[in-house]
Structure 1
Amino acid sequence: MRRAVSLLAAALSSVTLAAHAACDKPLYLTFDTGHMGVAPLVAEVLAREGVKATFFLADEKTLTGGTSLDDHWAPWWKARAAEGHLFGSHTFDHVYWLADTANGFRVRASAGPRAGQIQNWTPAQYCAELQRPADRFRAITGQAMPKLFRAAGGKTSPALLAAAKACGWTHVGWSPAGFLGDELPSDRYPNANLLARALRDVRSGDILVAHLGIWSRQDPWAPAVLEPLIQGLKAKGYCFTTLAEHPVYRAVAVAR
C-alpha cells in the first residue's frame, strides 16, 4: 500500500513537472475590477479555456447599483478563489495618485464616499487603503491576499512605490503589448483591431491587463475579444498562469 502511494505521488509529481516544462512561453493575464457587467462571462471563458488569472480588487460602482466587493458579488469572488486564481489590491476606493507632496501624496478616488474629491494623504493612509481590499477579500473567502497591488490607472511615483514597499506591498504594472485596450473608445479602437494587435504583439513573459467592465466603452471588449485572444495565443504556443509563477512577483505572491 505504501509503495502504491509513493508511486502515485511520483506520477503526480511527474505530471506537474511536465506541465511546467511545457509552459515555456508563459503569459500572465490580469483583470482589474470595473462595473462587473462582463464578470460572469469572464469567469465562464477562463473556466472553459482552463486559464488562471490574477484579479486586482477595488470596490467600484457596478451596473446593478451596488459595488464590486459588496455582498451581491461576494459569491462570485469566493468561487474564483476556489478555482485557484490569484488576487491583489487595487485600492478600495480606486484611488488615483495625482502628485507627490511634502508629506505624502495628492490623490483622488473614483469610488466610495469621497469619489471625485482631491485629498492629501500620508504614506500611512495610502498603506491603509491598500489593505482594505485584502481585509474584505479575507472576509469573503477566508483566504489571505498576497501583498501585490496595482495602482489605479497604473499611476505611481518612485515615492509612492517606496511608501507601499515600506508597508510590504509590491506594485504590478503591465507590459506595453499587454495593454489590451478594453478601456479605449470603441469607435476608434474596434474590437477586431484590438484582437489583431494583441495577437501580433504579445510576447512570452508579458503581463496582460483588462477589466471586468468599462463604463465608457460602447462595444464591450470581453465578449468579442477575450476567448478568441486566449485561443489565438494558445495556438501560438503560449500558456497562461498567475503572477504566483512570475519570476519577479513569485516570492510575494506565495507569502500570505
Structure 2
Amino acid sequence: MAAGVLVALCLPVHASGSSTPAPQDCDKPVYLTFDTGHMGVADLVADVLRRHQVRVTFFAANETTQQGDGSLGTHWAPWWKARAQEGHRFASHTWDHTYWRGDLGAAADRSFRVRPSQGAHKDQTVTLSAAQYCAEIRKSSEWLRQTTGQAPLPLWRAPGGKTSPQLLQAAEACGFKHVGWSPAGFLGDELSSEKFSNAALLQQALARIRPGDVLLAHLGIWSRKDPWAPAVLEPLITGLQAKGFCFRTLDQHPDYRAWVQGHTAAAATARQP
C-alpha cells in the first residue's frame, strides 16, 4: 500500500510537533492520546501501557459502550480511577461527543450548530450557545475530576477534530485549549480493516512519526472488524522506543505546557475557600 494513500484519507487538525525541546529525559518525545469509544479494548490498552510504563492522555466523552452504562458511567468509573493511579492524564472530549457543524451569530451573540452522537439529542442537529458548548466540555472534565480525584488538564478535543476559529475562541474563553493530532499521528484505527490492515498501519506509523507528534487512537471503534489495539499498539510502542522515542503526556508538550500550568494554578486558586 502506498503510504500517501493512507495519509490522504486522514483528517489532520491543528496540533503538531514542535522543535522546542521539553524538559525531560529524552530529545524525541511523542504524545500518545486516546479518545473514548466502545471501551471494548480499554483493558487491553491499559495492560500494554502498564507493561511498557507508558503514560498517555485520555480524552473522554460519555459514549455508548459494549459493556456498562457508557464510558463515563458507573461501570467504567473504577477503570478511570486505576488509570489516574498509574499516572495518566485526562481531558475532555465533550460530554455527548458533540460534533461542530457550523457557526451562527455574531461575536457578541455567538452560537454553534452541532450534532451530538450521544445523549438526548443523539444524531440531531441542534444549536448551542457558546456557554452551552463550554458546559459540554466542562461536564466531562468535572466527571473525571470527581471520579479520579485528579485535576483534568484544561484541554479538550473536538469530536472528529472538527472546529472553527470561533469555536476555539469560545472554548479558550472558558478555559479550554484545543488539541488535535499531527498528520503522522493519525494512527488509522478508525479506518476499514479490509482496506487498511493492522500491518500497513503499523508500518506507516513507524516510518512517519517524528519527535513532538501528537498521536491519536481510540478505546474501541465499532466499525473496525480487526481491532487496532492491542495488535498495533504494543509493536508501535516498542518500535518507537527502539528508535529512541519516549512517551509523554500533554502537560509536558511545549505547545500546551504554559497553558496547562497557568490555568491549573488559576483553577486551584478559584477553588480555595
Give deviations 1:65-109, integer Å, cap 9, x for gaps.
520011110000001011111111000000000111124110000
Bigger Rg, structure 1 or 2: 1
Give 1:164's match in structure 2, choosing from 161, 171, 177.
171
Any gaps of 5 or more consecutive residues in structure 2? Answer: 1-22, 265-273
- Indicate the SS of the match to 1:78: helix
Instruction: Return the letter of the residue paired with 1:251.
Output: A
Whether 2:104 is the aligned partner of 1:104: answer: no
Instruction: Return the letter of the residue paired with 1:238.
Output: F
By how many angstroms is 1:207 displaced? Answer: 0.3
Q: Distance in 2 between matches of 1:22 and 1:133?
A: 32
By how many angstroms is 1:122 displaced? Answer: 0.8
Aligned twin of 2:87:
84
Give 1:175's match in structure 2, choosing from 161, 175, 182.
182
Matches within 5 A, 1:121-132: 121-132=128-139
Whose RCO is larger (CA < 8 A, sep 6+)?
Answer: 2
Give 2:224's match in structure 1, choosing from 209, 217, 232.
217
Contact 1:146 1:252 in 2 (8 A): no
The count of corresponding residues between Structure 1 and Structure 2 is 238
Aligned twin of 2:140:
133
Aligned twin of 1:232:
239
Contact 1:184 1:217 in 2 (8 A): yes
Matches within 5 A, 1:1-256: 22-102=25-105, 103-254=110-261, 255-256=263-264
Give deviations 1:180-208, integer Å, cap 9, x for gaps.
00000110111000000000000000000
- In proportion to residue count, which structure has more helix? 1
Q: 1:21 to 1:128 in 2, by over 3 A?
A: closer
Q: Distance in 2 between matches of 1:159 and 1:192?
A: 39
Q: Distance in 1 between matches of 2:42 and 2:24?
A: 31
Instruction: Give the TM-score of the pair, scaled to structure 2.
Output: 0.85
Aligned twin of 2:6:
none
Q: 1:139 to 1:21 in 2, by over 3 A?
A: closer
Aligned twin of 2:270:
none
By how many angstroms is 1:246 displaced? Answer: 0.4
* Runs (4+) off by over 2 Å: 251-256
Give deviations 1:142-187, integer Å, cap 9, x for gaps.
2221210000110000000011111111000000000000000110
Q: Distance in 2 between matches of 1:223 and 1:247?
A: 29
Give deviations 1:51-78, integer Å, cap 9, x for gaps.
0000001000000152001111000000
Instruction: Give the TM-score of the pair, scaled to structure 1.
Output: 0.90
Contact 2:40 2:65 in 1 (8 A): yes
Q: 1:21 to 1:113 in 2, by over 3 A?
A: closer
Contact 2:111 2:130 in 1 (8 A): yes
By how many angstroms is 1:253 displaced? Answer: 3.0
Instruction: Return the letter of the residue paired with 1:246.
Output: H
Give deviations 1:183-239, integer Å, cap 9, x for gaps.
001101110000000000000000000000000001000021000000000000100
By how many angstroms is 1:134 displaced? Answer: 1.2
Contact 2:68 2:76 in 1 (8 A): no
Contact 1:33 1:213 in 2 (8 A): yes
Q: 1:115 to 1:167 in 2, by over 3 A?
A: same
